[in-house]
Amino acid sequence: MRSVRTRWMRGGALAIVVAITVAVPAGPAGAMGAGDIDEACRRLPALQRRVALAIDLLEASEFSPGSIDWLEAQLDLAERAGRRQRATYLENRLTSRVAKLTRLQRSRVTLERLELRCDDIG
């Protein structure tokens, strides 16, 4: 059975990106209504915690299952054992995790900008 953290990592990144897209639209500054901004500011601390948790998991040591370093270590073991199919699978997962880390880091920057905007509003 997968842990809650693993299940969250699979679907949580998409939820965060969607939530940030809704919270900070690309339009002009006046595009969001007062209620939308209040709702985004209210949800901000929870989103920041979720993004920080996901980044911490991906940047953890090689002894933490699910981290990038752990996947790299597993990939090395599979390659040394001559398990090409498993190595390919792990390499694909590693590529996906690195891309997810990049997206989460961009999301953290977006949330910081939203936090400044919320501070300005009061």
* Residue-level pLDDT at 3: 53
What is the number of domains present in the chain? 1
Asked if pLDDT for residue 8 goes beyond 70, the answer is no
Residue 39 near residue 87, CB atoms below 8 Å: no
pLDDT in tens, 12-71: 544 554 455 545 555 555 566 767 888 889 999 999 999 999 999 999 999 999 999 999
* Residue-level pLDDT at 12: 56
Rounded CA-CA distance 103/98 in Å is: 9
pTM: 0.70
Which stretches within the chain are classed as H helix?
A: 4-23, 34-58, 68-80, 84-121
